[in-house]
Amino acid sequence: MESELRRLVVVSNRLPAALKKEGGEWTVKAGAGGLVTALAPVLRNRGGVWIGWSGASDPDLDVDGLLADFSAEAGYDLYTVGLTPEEVDGYYYGFSNEIIWPLFHDLQTRCRFHPQFWRMYLDVNFKFAEVVARKTTSDDYVWIHDYHLMHQAFFLKSMGVKRKTGFFLHIPFPPPDIFMKLPWRWKLIQALTEFDLVGFQTLQDRRNFAECLRRLMPEARVSGRGGVVSVDMGSRKFRLGAFPISIDFNQFNDLAEQPDVAREAFKIKEALRHRKIILGVDRLDYTKGIPERIRSIQTLLRRYPDLKGRVNFVQIAVPSREEVGDYKELRTEIEQLVGRVNGEFSFPGWVPVHYHYRSLPHRELVAYYAAADVGLVTPLRDGMNLVAKEYCACSTDGDGVLILSEFAGAAAQLQKDAYLVNPYDMEGVAKALHRVLHWDKGQRLEHMTRLRDQVRKNNIYWWVDSFLQAGIARSLGDFPEVDALRYERG
Ligand code: ADQ
């Protein structure tokens, strides 16, 4: 066991705090999204470090000053990587979100393979690596997150900076026939081999990566079985693992049980006249299958008219990447679809689809999860999908049903007790909905109890520990809590 590692350093595109200009004043807000939700509770009180972009591109802004209060409250240090608007365009909107995001989600026709996006991605990765080199020491474990930063280990090494590095990919890794379309496929896969550990959400993602590696770098030898395997590159070795990310189960469960949240959940049910609630919660993204889901609801109401007036579909969509054309079009498409379905079926006293386009405060989101009879989670492709797990954690009475896309990473863990569907098959989704709406209470309890057990056991702390065990033979508890560290330093 390594004895010298002192700090856990997280590196991601965005810091867990976002700077926003409101009424001419800069404010700091806690960030949203899967990664922050997952890692904030992990670094808290451990004196760790988080390195990322703040979301502001104003060169005169005192970013560090603005973040100081947030950092003190959060219990870990934040360091920013300053990016110009051009860099944000090329590296973030361009390479990350118009090439890697669609390609890795099997939607290659949406990719815009502009060479200048690639060059900007490399420049920004170099910039990040410079900050990582400056703000860390060889005693730190540097844990890099996601597809924006796949060149970190490569650049650290090219600068002669020695760090123990782990990389976790939050999105799927595609099979070779899709990955091979990337013009910079060889350089990208080579860069990934420079990490000491590369983690994926599922075994299938890990297999896809190993398959691409074999094709592009035939000298690579993959050996071993189980969750983590070794890759021998001749001159060096590194490891690959599958680590399905999760949520802080107790935090969601306990909140859902709080009397005021339970009251809020009751109010939601009451407002919908105690009809069955089918719930969708997503970032507004084309990978989440929201239009297909609304069409499935339309199919449900057409095929099973007995459900008219007896169910409500509530879709909560958090605004995301609003500057990108594809996302603007998607928003319009969804709004039109909601209007069409409501126009077709509504009658006085009943509107089938309730659509909210906004980020909900945490408590309100939990109340919606607790109120819902069915969690309808149907992404076209998803690395994991934390919403599926959050829904289970909030079904505290065990009386809920999870319908889950077979193309979400979460399906690998939850397939036994979730009702799996193909999100492209609108008749299949409608049939699944009709069937589970007729399940008796015993059936619902049986499946949901097992789903909850699975998420409770394989929670976010289990995920961090399994990654750290694979990376450095350590668990989270081995990183000293902040008071102990201060004491030791005198
Ligand atoms: P995302 O694509 O953002 O994450 P997901 O895993 O579902 O997807 O996480 C979304 C988070 O946003 C959830 O924690 C959810 O509670 C929150 N959220 C969604 N809608 C909201 C709303 N209206 N109001 C408030 N909060 C809302 C990426 C990958 C996923 C992977 C995660 C973590 O795309 O596949 O599971 O990272 O690795």
Structure confidence at residue 42 as a pLDDT band (50, 70, 90): low
Catalytic residue among 148, 151, 170, 447: 170
Instruction: Tell me, yes or no, if 382 is annotated catalytic.
Output: yes
Number of H helices, E strands in the chain: 20, 17
Mean pLDDT check: name the lowest of 127-131, 306-310, 428-432, 471-475: 471-475
The enclosing H or E element of 10 equals: strand 8-14
Q: Mind listing the pLDDT tens digit for each residue in 298-332?
A: 999 999 999 999 999 999 999 988 888 889 999 99
* pLDDT higher than 60, residue 3: no
DSSP-based three-state secondary structure for 348? coil
Of ligand 1's atoms, which has the minimum distance to the CA of residue 359?
Answer: 24
* pLDDT higher than 90, residue 191: yes
* Cα 341 versus chain centre, distance: 30
d(CA 92, CA 85): 10
Mean pLDDT check: name the lowest of 81-85, 113-117, 439-443: 81-85
For residue 339, give the amino acid letter.
G
More confident residue, 348 or 320: 348
**What is the C-alpha end-to-end distance of the chain, expressed in Å?**
25
**What DSSP state is assigned to residue 242?**
E
- For the domain 250-457, what is the CATH code? 3.40.50.2000
Q: Mind listing the pLDDT tens digit for each residue in 232-288?
A: 999 999 999 999 999 999 999 999 999 999 999 999 999 999 999 999 999 999 999
Class of domain 3-245+460-489: alpha beta
Structure confidence at residue 48 as a pLDDT band (50, 70, 90): confident
d(CA 56, CA 46): 27
Main-chain phi, psi angles of 61, to 5 degrees: -80, 135
More confident residue, 477 or 279: 279
CA nearest neighbour of 331 among 322, 342, 343: 322
> How many angstroms does the Cα of residue 87 sit away from the middle of ligand 1?
25
Q: Mind listing the pLDDT tens digit for each residue in 210-223?
A: 999 999 999 999 99
Instruction: Tell me, yes or no, if 123 is annotated catalytic.
Output: no
Structure confidence at residue 41 as a pLDDT band (50, 70, 90): low
Q: At what angle do helices 259-271 and 362-371 cross, to 10 degrees?
A: 60
Structure confidence at residue 37 as a pLDDT band (50, 70, 90): low
Among 386, 414, 458, 463, which is best to mutate for testing ligand 1, by the most ligand atoms less than 8 A from CB? Answer: 386
Main-chain phi, psi angles of 65, to 5 degrees: -60, -45
d(CA 467, CA 136): 20
Domain positions in the chain are 3-245+460-489, 250-457
Q: Evaluate whether 35 touches 466 at the Cβ level (below 8 Å).
A: no
Burial class of 67 by CB neighbour count within 10 A (0 to 12, 13 to 18, 19+)? buried
Please state, in angstroms and as integers, the Cα–Cα distance from residue 371 to each residue in 47, 303, 399, following that order: 37, 25, 10
Structure confidence at residue 172 as a pLDDT band (50, 70, 90): very high
d(CA 43, CA 15): 13
Q: What is the pTM of this model?
A: 0.94
Who contacts 326 (Cβ-Cβ below 8 Å, separation ≥6)?
Answer: 110, 286
Structure confidence at residue 6 as a pLDDT band (50, 70, 90): confident
Cβ of 387 below 6 Å from ligand 1: yes
- pLDDT score recorded for residue 276: 98
The enclosing H or E element of 327 equals: helix 325-345
Cβ of 318 below 6 Å from ligand 1: yes
Q: Whose CA is nearest to atom 32 of ligand 1?
A: 34
> How many angstroms does the Cα of residue 386 sit away from the middle of ligand 1?
6
Full DSSP string of 351-375: -SEEEEESPPPHHHHHHHHHH-SEE
CA nearest neighbour of 249 among 366, 374, 420, 384: 366
Catalytic residue among 146, 205, 382, 417: 382
Q: Mind listing the pLDDT tens digit for each residue in 440-450?
A: 999 999 999 99
CA nearest neighbour of 184 among 268, 67, 95, 298: 95
Cβ of 296 below 6 Å from ligand 1: no
d(CA 100, CA 370): 35
Same fold, 3-245+460-489 and 250-457: yes
- pLDDT score recorded for residue 325: 83
**What DSSP state is assigned to residue 480?**
P
Q: Evaluate whether 158 touches 134 at the Cβ level (below 8 Å).
A: no
Mean pLDDT check: name the lowest of 46-55, 188-197, 462-471: 46-55
Mean pLDDT computed over 221-229:
91
Q: What is the mean pLDDT of the chain?
A: 92
Q: Could you tell me whether strands 17-22 and 25-30 are parallel, antiparallel, or unpaired per DSSP bridges? A: antiparallel
Report the percent of the chain where pLDDT is more than 70. Answer: 94
